[in-house]
Structure 1
């Protein structure tokens, strides 16, 4: 814990403003108590470990769950507390919310709204995250979760890169409403060691847990309230996203035969066989990053080819498509069928707009739609900004 009460009932918040020597002298003459259970707590001051308060080993206090925090977590909370305080915002460290029996890392009041701030450094069950959010929502609070920046991202200076995000990390990717048709999605992370926010945005799903992303860095001293929003990708960024997507597409198509143990029994390869096309020779209109494509864990090449195969079996075209066929199709995949249905409809829109003849796989082989699709998606943001 970073907060406690003195023997006179005054709240103490440990920040970097007080020297270690001063804290050591202070604890000789003062006793400290837990703000929640009022039991006496210890002020621990070491040369390496960040100063903090701790209950005695035998305690029934609910707040004891917040102990055992890593130095990184403690440092991040201190820095965020100092940030909001310097911005002249009412900021509480580790306040206890009795109505829901929860204690956020910080509680910031902005425009008469209390906003819980959670700095999450470790992986915990998603069910616990949902439970905490439900608690906040029940008292009309909208929490902001900030993740510890993943090592690969904090060590990268690239503006565009490919990264694998765990299911836990993906849970914190949140949409930001904008005036454009496309929704901007971001993952807000923070690195206390370098005092930098790392923004991950404009996710383009590749396959499984891999995404092509835009990456931007902001020093904590430049952060604002509300939190700054990443700019729309530049033309150079879009070209970078395109290269990462194209590379992942080629890698998948080249490896699907060599590394697949099921051979022709793999339904993607089976569909290629039945349509008499080699995976590496798929036309460029199969494997396109249309909106909501992240709803499928499979490569875009795979689910889009299988959808085209399903339509061909009915002898129909994208212009004649019955929505019930798509509903049946998405049931064969794991994931959110509602979002997958939306992804399929966006892909059908693409095929109709491009007037693709799905019965001619030998057309447009030399044309790449990726840059066109991504440019159409992101350049619209520039036009409205």
Structure 2
């Protein structure tokens, strides 16, 4: 930790001093944990930045973690020093006794409080949920900033990206309904924006990665802009590549062969596996809640309509519910809304009739990735 009290109960911040100053101060003062009031040691090593730590086997580490990494200490220091310039009240490692939690940084802006958690190590879903709920119950907005792991090399630009489940829980929504993730890299002292996220399947997304040096960041934080139509073309190409790979894998590895429901439906609909219609594999908002990839459930949707002898854009809501039940997909309002949106896109293209269908443009207008 980076904070402690001396005998006069004055907050002590070690980064304000040189190592030589700290060695002299360490001989003259005793330091105490702001949380448990027990003695803590001022450590001044050559590897880590100076910090305080409890003696071994001290029970306070049940509430406030010890053994912080050099990266975690450095990141907190960088963020705290940067936040102080924005004319808000900023506290480093405050102990919030009413909820028994200690955020890395607490920002008070008028009547609003923001708890910033800079997370460098793995955290369980249960611990993340408990800490997030604790802040929210006391009207404190939690903001989780994850350190980009060494194994994750996010290059600037538009890519297909695997996003861990815990990162997905920290997505920041925009007014357009699409979300983004903001990471912080303490090594380079910069923010990493993973924006304009389009769900593909499971933990796979297509997104735009941008780097923003700490000193160019604003507070409140900058929000991403909508992508251009030219950028969306890259999204479309990547998404369609994934669709083609999905069909190839299904054809190559399905043990059921022609009896595979997906392959059988394609055969009866007379769809070519190597050249699917444009309306198969349409990306939709919030599609990550669907248990199947878009190409699969959309094939099943058309086959279901074919069996009922109705046009795909004319399937009513009762039959949409029956469709979800028939194909063992979870019946939720979100799932219903996704299929209704797909039906609406099909209807708009059908009503154009004489015009050449342009699903690419329709999907771009619908998504407006922002």
TM-score, normalising length from structure 2? 0.91
Deviation at 1:282, TM superposition (A): 2.0
Distance 1:150 1:231 in 2: 26
Shift of 1:372: 4.3
Residues 213/291 of structure 1: CA separation in 2 closer, same or farther (3 Å cut): same
Residues 1:294 and 2:288 aligned together: yes
- 5 Å-filtered alignment, 1:234-273, equals 234-273=228-267
1:64 deviates by 4.9
Q: Secondary structure at the match of 2:140?
A: coil
Q: Would you say 1:198 and 2:192 are equivalent positions?
A: yes
Which residue of structure 2 aligns with residue 348 of structure 1?
343
Per the TM alignment, residue 175 of structure 1 is displaced from its structure 2 partner at its CA by 0.9
Provide closer, same or farther for how the CA distance between residues 23 and 342 of structure 1 changes in structure 2, counting only shifts above 3 A: same
Q: Tell me the C-alpha RMSD between the 2 structures.
A: 2.5
SS of 2:274's partner is helix
User: In the aligned structure 1, how far is the partner of 2:190 from the partner of 2:335?
Assistant: 35
Are residue 7 (structure 1) and residue 1 (structure 2) matched?
Answer: no
- Larger displacement relative to structure 2 (330-339 or 67-76): 330-339
- Map of 1:70 onto structure 2: 69
SS at match of 1:282: coil
Going from structure 1 to structure 2, the CA distance change for 1:117 and 1:34 (only over 3 Å counts) comes to same
Gaps (5+ residues) in structure 2?
Answer: none
> Partners in 2 of 1:201 and 1:218 — Cα distance?
13
Q: 2:31 corresponds to which residue?
A: 32
Which residue in 2 is equivalent to 1:275? 269
Which residue is 1:165 aligned to? 163
Displacement, 1:296?
2.1
Check the 8 A contact 1:207/1:299 in 2, yes or no. Answer: yes
Report the secondary structure of 1:66's partner residue: coil
CA distance in 1, matches of 2:240, 2:150: 25
Q: Which range moved further: 2-11 or 166-175?
A: 166-175
Distance 1:20 1:270 in 2: 72
CA contact (8 A) 1:239 1:371 kept: no
More moved, 108-117 vs 277-286: 277-286
CA distance in 2, matches of 1:31, 1:215: 46
How many Å separate the matches in 2 of 1:82 and 1:295? 40
Alignment partner of 1:18 is 2:13? no
After TM superposition, the structure 1 stretch with the greater mean CA deviation from structure 2, 89-98 or 249-258, is 249-258
Q: 2:97 matched to 1:98?
A: yes
- How far the C-alpha of 1:293 sits from its partner, in A, is 2.2
CA-CA distance at 1:12 after TM superposition: 1.3
Stretch deviating more after TM superposition (233-242 or 280-289): 233-242
- 1:230 is aligned to 224
Aligned length: 368
- Aligned: 1:136 with 2:135: yes
- CA deviations on 1:197-226 (whole Å, 9 max, x unpaired) are 011111112223211101111111011111
Alpha-carbon spacing, 1:206–1:122, altered in 2? closer, same or farther (3 Å): same
Q: Against the structure 1 CA distance between its residues 337 and 347, is the aligned structure 2 distance closer, same or farther, given a 3 Å change threshold?
A: same
Residue 261 of structure 1, CA deviation: 2.9
* Structure 1 residues 95 and 183, CA gap change in structure 2 (3 angstroms): same
Deviation at 1:291, TM superposition (A): 2.6
Corresponding position: 1:176 with 2:177 = no
1:360 paired residue number: none
Cα distance 1:33–1:373, how it changes in 2: closer, same or farther (>3 A)? same
Distance (Å, rounded) in 2 between the aligned partners of 1:280 and 1:119:
46
Is there any run of 5+ residues in structure 1 with no aligned partner, and where?
Answer: 358-362
Q: Is the 8 A contact 1:209 1:297 kept in 2?
A: no
Candidates 298, 302, 317, aligned match of 1:323: 317
Q: Secondary structure at the match of 1:237?
A: helix
Q: What is the DSSP-based 3-state SS (H/G/I as helix, E as strand, rest coil) of the residue aligned with 2:141?
A: coil
Mapped partners of 2:222, 2:108: distance in 1: 17
How far apart, CA to CA, are the structure 1 residues paired with 2:351 and 2:264?
A: 22
Separation in 2 of the partners of 1:342 and 1:321? 13
Q: 1:368 to 1:207 in 2, by over 3 A?
A: farther
CA distance in 1, matches of 2:64, 2:324: 42
Partner of 1:119: 118
Shift of 1:322: 2.7
CA distance in 1, matches of 2:110, 2:256: 59
Q: 1:79 to 1:63 in 2, by over 3 A?
A: farther
The structural deviation recorded for 1:194 is 0.6
